[in-house]
A and B are shown apart, each in its own frame.
Chain A
Amino acid sequence: MKHFLVWSPVTVPGAAVKYSVEFQGEYERDYANDSWIPIGECTGISVTQCDITEDISATVPYDLRVRAGVGTQASHWATLSSFFNRVTTSLIPPMLTVTADGYHLLVELERLGPAFEFWIYYWKKGQGHKVYRKVVKDSSTTLHMDTMEAGTEYCVKAQTYVEAINRSSNFSQVQCVRAEGKAIL
C-alpha cells in the first residue's frame, strides 16, 4: 500500500515556492489537543507530491494539510476536504508470471512489502470445480505451487490481500501452462 498527498502548484513570478506538509491522526484529534505533526521529508520541498505511507500507518481517519512558502512568507494551510482512511485504498490485481518447469508449476510475483498477502488459486484446466488455494506472505522469488501430472494443463490466477484493512484486490488474468510429458488418458 502506497499513499500519496498531491496538490496543485502555487506560482509566484520570479520566486521559488516551497511546500510543507503536516498530518493529524484521529489520536491527535481526540487525545493530543488537535496537534499536527510535520512530515520531515516533505518540509520545504518544491515538488507538489508527498509520500505519506510511513505516517498513515493505522486504519483510522487522518487529516492532512499543506502550505506554500516563499522566503519567510507562508500561505494559509490547505487541508483535505474530508478525512483520509487507508481502508479506501484501491488494491490493483498483482502482476503474475506462471511457468512450467518440467513437472513443476511455478509462480513469480512482484514484491509489494510486508503489508501484503497473495492468494493464489490453481486448478487443472477443465476442472474448475476443484480449485486449490495457497496463501503467500511477502514473496521475493519464484514460488513452487505444485508438482503437475505429466502433459496436463494447469491454470492460475491471484489476488492481493491486506490484513490491516481486510481488503483484497480483483483477480489477475488467468494464465495456463502445460506440464512436460504425455498425459495419461
Chain B
Amino acid sequence: MNIHDIPHKAIRRSIHKAALFSIALLVLLLSYVVYIQVIESNTLAFHPLNRRTAETSRKVERGQITDIHGKVLALSKLSQQEYQREYPYDAVFSHVVGYDSPKYGKTGIEGIYDGYLSGQINPEKRLGAISQLFANGAGNTVVLTVDAQLQQVAYQALGNHRGAIVVMSPKTGAILAMVSRPSFDPNTLDTTWNSISQAASSPLLNRAAQGLYPPGSIIKVMIAEAALAEQLADKNHQFTCSGSLKIGSDYTLTESNNIAHGKLNLREALAVSCNVTFGQLALDLGRTRMAKYFERYGFTQLISSDIQESANQLPDFAKLNDGDLAQTGIGQGSLLVTPLRMAMLASTFANKGIMMKPYLVQKIMTPDGTILNQTSPVAWLSPADSKLASQVADMMVSVVKEGTGSAAALRDIQVAGKTGTAENPHGASHSWFIGFAPADNPQVAVAVIVENAGSGGTVAAPLARQILLQALR
C-alpha cells in the first residue's frame, strides 16, 4: 500500500523545509520574548510611563533621598491613607532631586532611581510571587554626593540671576552641589505647573547639565594644553599681540577694549585672556587637531551616568573657515557646552589630566541600613598628560593671582581659575568662571555661569570665591 515514488519524495522534501521554517519562526519569537522579558525587563518595568510603579507606590512608603551627611532632601508622608512626597528644601534641590508627581511623572533622581525608591528593585523580586511575602513596608534610601549646606550657599549666591553652578570633587567626580536658577518648588507642582512649564525663563530646565552656552575664554585652558602637547608653544615662547588679528581678507579678531598686550608668553596670555594669542593658536592647530582635542576632552560623547545631560554642540570642523576656527579657539562661534562639562574641564587640570566620571548617588540603602549599591569613582577619560596638566594648572593660578580672575582669590588658599565672558545673541555677555582650590592639593572644582551678567572677572569670579570658601571650610 505504500507508494514511494519520486514526486512524493520531492513534496516531502519541501514540506520538511516548510516545517523547519515554521518552527524556526516560533523559536525566533521565543528568543525575542526572552530578550524583552530578561534583558529589557528593568528598563520597561521602571519606565516613567509605566503606571505599575505608581500603583504600588501608593501603597508603599517611598524611600528617602538624603545628602551625603544624611540631611533629608525628599521624603514620603502618610496623609489620608496615601503617601505623599515632601521636599524640605523647597526649590534648592529641585533640579537634582527632581519631582515625583502622580500627574506630571518623575524627573531627576526621583525618576532614574524610581525602581529603588519605590522598593520594586529588590533581590526578592526576581523570585516571582514569593516577593509578596517579603513585601517590606518601605522603599530604599538613596544617598546623594551633594552637600546640602554648600548647595544652599550656591543657590543663594546666584540670587535672582539666571545661571548655574556645578561643584565637584576633582579626584572622584562626585558632584558636591548642582544649582540651576530660576528654580521651582516641587511641593506645589500641582498648583504652579502651568506657569512654570510655560515660563520663558524655563525653570524646569536643569541649566547645570542641560543648558548649552558658548564657553567664551574658559575654553582657552584646553587650547593652552593642546598647544603645549603639540609643541606649538613652550613655557617661554613669546607671542606678540597687536590688539587685533587679521584673518584672510575680510575678518579681524579683536581684543576686548582693543588693548594691545604686546609681547607675552603663554602663561601671561592666559592670565590676561589674550584673544589674539589663542585665536592664532587655534589657527596653528588647524581643523583636524582642534577636532581631535575636543574629542579627547569628551565633548563628542555623552556620559552614561545618573545625570541627564544635553549633548554639547561642536562646529563641523572640516567645513570651518579660518575666521570661525579662530573664534572656536576663544570659545565663541557655534561651540556650545554645558556648565557640568566646564566643571569637569577644571577638574581635569586639578586631577593630573584625568577626567573622572561625574556621579550624584553615593549609595543606596534598604530601610534597615543594608547597603544595596555603592558608587566607586571611575576615571572616564585621560585627555592630558599629567606634566602638561600641572603646567596649565600653574597658569590658572596666575589667572587668579595676577590676571582676570583676581576676584576669586582666597586669603590663605591658592586658587586656580579662568574667567570667561561669552558673547551671545540673547543680550549682554554671559559671565563664566571655572576653577579649583587648593591649587597644590585640589579638593574642589567649580564652574559658575551667570547669564547676561557681563564680564566673568567681575560677576562669576566673586561667586566662585564664596563657594570655594564654603566648600573648603
Q: Do A and B come from one complex?
A: no
